[in-house]
Amino acid sequence: MIQYKEFEETVQKNSSTFEAWKHLLPAVPLAHRSRFITALKTGADIPTAFDYIMTSLTLREDKFLNFLEEATQKRISMYA
């Protein structure tokens, strides 16, 4: 599992809105920090990544990746 300091630094490197949304990071469940980072790397902002994580807490890893792929495609098509 990712320690909080490492998690915070990784999020900061992968998000241009870190300062505005860093208050959400303590609410990300410890066991789902890597999923949060994965969601950020798809281009999601911090609030969107947080929503993805919180709505998919009970999904297995393979199902989460499918969920994330579908959500990313929908997000991209909304802004295309």
| Helices (H), ranges, 15-60 | 18-21, 33-41, 46-55
User: What is the pTM assigned to this prediction?
Assistant: 0.90
Confidence of residue 1 (pLDDT cuts 50, 70, 90): confident
Q: Give pLDDT, residue 79.
A: 79
CA distances from 40 to 10, 37, 44, 61 (A): 10, 5, 5, 16
pLDDT in tens, 24-80: 999 999 999 999 999 999 999 999 999 999 999 999 999 999 999 999 999 989 877
Name the DSSP letter for residue 2. Answer: -
Q: Give pLDDT, residue 10.
A: 96
CA distances from 80 to 71, 73, 74, 76, 77 (A): 14, 10, 10, 6, 5
Domain locations in the chain as residue ranges = 4-79
